[in-house]
């Protein structure tokens, strides 16, 4: 994106690795809460410093970053002119209930880090973007692998369906031969090319295009 002339901020929100155990643990059960606040604070900092135009900010991420994209567009919709969700989580209940078999030994840790579907049900509903799709104001582009074992395709399908019911613009790319993240080079070119056009359409002025 920087190569295409966009100013890019890559956030080290709490929970990012490489900053010690305390920083990592500060993210536990904070999906959509303080972890998202870190991203929001970063965007506001960019605006205050005059680096970003407040009317032309997009949010993009993959996996958890895809969740953060959806959370940003639902919980702070006024901040973003567009969003790109790449293999992201939309519903924390279905995400936790479709954990693949090879994650089973880590399931207790997932419940500690993200939340328990029963014990933390109120919070998980509050922080699942799919239940707040009515708040999305900006165009959204979603990309998903059909065979994704970690973030099931249903995560993207749910959000697309919720937005289409409201008549909100959503561009949806599904690759049948991909899992969690695109590995096929042709699919990568297709995705990044489509994302570039999407961002140009919704962020650039006619003169910049």
Residue where the block lists tokens 């939309």? 90
Nearest to 16 by CA among 73, 64, 88: 64
Q: How many residues does the chain have?
A: 209
| Residues labelled catalytic | 63, 148, 180
Provide the mean pLDDT of the chain.
95
- Tens of pLDDT, residues 81-130: 999 999 999 999 999 999 888 888 889 999 999 999 999 999 999 999 99
Confidence of residue 208 (pLDDT cuts 50, 70, 90): confident
This prediction has a pTM of: 0.96
pLDDT at 209 over 90: no
Other C-beta atoms within 10 Å of 190: how many? Answer: 15
pLDDT at 47 over 90: yes
pLDDT value at residue 99: 84
Confidence of residue 169 (pLDDT cuts 50, 70, 90): confident
- Tens of pLDDT, residues 2-45: 999 899 999 999 999 999 999 999 999 999 999 999 999 999 99
Check: CB of residue 1 under 8 Å from CB of residue 61.
no
Residue where the block lists tokens 């509050």? 126
User: Quick one: residue 13, left, alpha or beta (phi over 0 = left, psi -120 to 50 = alpha)?
Assistant: beta
Which are the contacts of 187, defined by CB distance < 8 A and separation ≥ 6?
Answer: 175, 177, 178
Which are the contacts of 197, defined by CB distance < 8 A and separation ≥ 6?
Answer: none
């Amino acid at each position: 994106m920087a190569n295409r002339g966009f100013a890019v901020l890559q956030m080290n929100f709490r929970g990012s690795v490489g900053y010690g155990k305390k920083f990592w643990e500060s993210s536990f059960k904070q999906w959509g809460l303080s972890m998202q606040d870190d991203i929001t604070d970063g965007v506001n900092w960019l605006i205050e410093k005059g680096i970003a135009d407040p009317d032309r900010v997009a949010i993009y991420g993959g996996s958890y970053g895809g969740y953060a994209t959806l959370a940003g567009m639902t919980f702070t919709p006024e901040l973003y002119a567009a969003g790109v969700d790449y293999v992201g989580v939309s519903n924390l209940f279905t995400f936790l209930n479709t954990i693949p078999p090879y994650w089973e030994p880590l399931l207790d840790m997932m419940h500690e880090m993200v939340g328990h579907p029963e014990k933390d049900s109120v919070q998980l509903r509050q922080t699942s973007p799919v239940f707040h799709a009515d708040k999305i104001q900006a165009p959204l582009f979603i990309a998903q692998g059909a065979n994704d074992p970690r973030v099931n395709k249903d995560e993207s399908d749910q959000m697309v369906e919720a937005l289409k019911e409201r008549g909100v613009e959503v561009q949806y790319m599904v690759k049948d031969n991909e899992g969690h993240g695109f590995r096929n080079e042709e699919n990568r070119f297709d995705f990044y090319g489509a994302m570039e056009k999407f961002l140009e359409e919704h962020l650039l002025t006619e003169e910049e295009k």
